[in-house]
A and B are shown apart, each in its own frame.
Chain A
Amino acid sequence: MTASTSGHPLSGRAAIVGIGETGYVRGADETVLEMVLGASMAAIRDAGLTPADIDGILPPPGFVAWDEIAAHLGIPDVRYTSTPQMGGASPTAALTTAMMAIASGVAETILVPIGWNGYSALRPRPDAKPSKRRFSAAFFETVRNYYGPYGLRSAPWWYSLYLQRYVELYDVPPEAPGAVAVAARKHAQLRPNALMHGRAMTMDDYLASPYITEPLRKFDCCVETDCAAAVVVTSAERARDLPHRPVLLLGGAEGHANPAHELTNRADVLDLGLSRAAPRAFEMAGVTARDMDFLQIYDCFTHVVLLQLEALGLAERGGAPDLVKGGALELGGAYPLNTAGGMLSQGHCWGLNLVVEAARQLRHDAGDAQVHGAELGLVTGYGDLGDGSIVILGRG
């Protein structure tokens, strides 16, 4: 049992008590709404609860809104709802919001859902039901005016604008991002629901993969999938009466680079939102990155993982390539990473699949991927143009 030792008024007051996820597929049978409701019901049932117990809903922006979820699930009395505007960092950021809402008594039992048609939005099956589900954000205006005209239409092209500087200034060898990709793929072989289950990848395969836009190769990029996931968070007191071992929220924070709405005009373009968020979360939890038994790091792109390892304080700027050598990120290594395959090899579920996996690890229910005796772990989020979020979790 991991108790909070920091004395922070939010630390250890709330716990993840239910988890749910769909498969991670290309061309789902269900609509986005059906997937979100399915994962949500799975999480609520896993918690030993019914929709009538839910009184808060914190969905990410776009796709499915809280009122649809409440209506379709028959949640009778929603006391609190809010939506972080942080793209892929939103689900993990929502967990900190849940900590605040629960500790303050504004709500008691909160649903954090996400689901999308990350693959099928652009490539619908011929027999697919019509869908208008999509995502929009204020920074899209920056992209339209200042990146899009130059052929930079989506995340790999945008982020490469700063990742290439990281690679050139710090002589980052391709084997460093390769180690992230290979670890994720190895771990996906232990999860039958991972998109890349059954599709092994070696470092040679990685190095042979073609560039999309330098420094990003094809295998540096996460896999676009149709999927949904959800977790249920409640008070630490109520968690004690529910079926599963509680997973305590010990610390949580968000952070944003300045300016947040444009990538290239930051004093230091390698300064992620997580650089600011991580120290706040560790302070709240009373622990450091080196205390973690595993890391679930938002792996939209491998180089972004390297930068986050540095932002967490595990390495100096430019030091991540040394840190990840020798299988350090693989199960059995010093820093087991994304033990279900992450977004690189399990599926892109806006990082909430990383939260689901972290909860499994801390319940000691992660099967062949179990980190022996795991007591502490963290999950990060990275979204839009570098917004960062993080939660520190402990076995209750």
Chain B
Amino acid sequence: MSTADKQIPRPAELDLEFFQAATSTGELHVQKCADCSDHHHPPRLYCPRCFSDRYVFEKVSGRGTVYSYTVSHFTTEKAWKDEVPWATIVVQLDEGPRLVGTARGIDPGAIRIGLPVRVVTETVTDDFAYLWVEADAGAEPEKTGNERAEEAR
């Protein structure tokens, strides 16, 4: 799977800062409040926790777990017709925010809530980085996805 022929956005304003933090370094960055250190995504001009307008984009590990996901079996988009079934994962980052990206190297049928994963960026243009979600081989498989889902109830 690649990003070829896919819809590539041209982000603006604060969203552009999020993507440029990744494209300029090759590494995932997330907005962090410069006053209370809360992370958020998508980025916002005022911190929803302490209402500060001071922020930085901070490098994060990309590590987290599957929070939710969808396996798509149908598309109206030409660029995706050869990809079905593909999986999109909502990743709960260890730092707090959640990110959406395409599963890579994970069997769509094996995805469950709680599975350890890692978000990896791919620079597509100066202004946009694609987010891939891969299995996190380095994570401790201490709990199965179902066990974590049970806890979430």
Q: Which residues of A contact B (CB under 8 A)?
A: 141-142, 144-153, 157, 160-165, 168-170, 210-215, 258-259, 261-262, 264-265, 269, 318
Contact = CB atoms under 8 A, between A and B. Distances in A.
Interface string B41-70: 110100010000000000000000001111
Contacts of A163: 70
A213 B70 contact: yes
Given A141-B15, A168-B112, A147 B72 contact: no
A214 B48 contact: no
Tell which of B70, B98, B130 has the most Cβ of chain A within 10 Å.
B70
A386 to B, nearest CB: 14
Given A151-B83, A265-B98, A211 B74 contact: yes
Interface string B90-116: 100000011111100000000011000
A-B pairs with lowest CB-CB distance, top 5: A160-B70, A165-B68, A213-B72, A151-B80, A211-B73
Given A161-B70, A265-B40, A265-B97, A151 B77 contact: yes
A82 B100 CA distance: 35
A169 B152 contact: yes
Contacts of B149: 168-169
Nearest to A318: B153
Given A145-B9, A151-B75, A264 B102 contact: no
Interface of B: 3, 6-9, 11-12, 15, 19, 40-42, 44, 48, 67-77, 79-80, 83, 86, 88, 90, 97-102, 112-113, 128, 130-131, 149, 152-153
B72 A212 contact: yes
13 contacts: A145-B15, A151-B77, A151-B88, A152-B88, A157-B70, A161-B68, A161-B100, A168-B112, A169-B113, A210-B73, A211-B73, A214-B70, A264-B67
Given A141-B15, A144-B9, A149 B70 contact: no
B42 A149 contact: no
B72 A151 contact: yes
A168 B148 CA distance: 11
B113 A165 contact: yes
A214 B15 contact: no
Given A145-B15, A210-B73, A211-B73, A151 B68 contact: no
Contacts of A213: 70-74
Contacts of A151: 6, 72, 75, 77, 79-80, 83, 86, 88, 102
Nearest to B103: A150
A83 to B, nearest CB: 24
Nearest to B41: A265
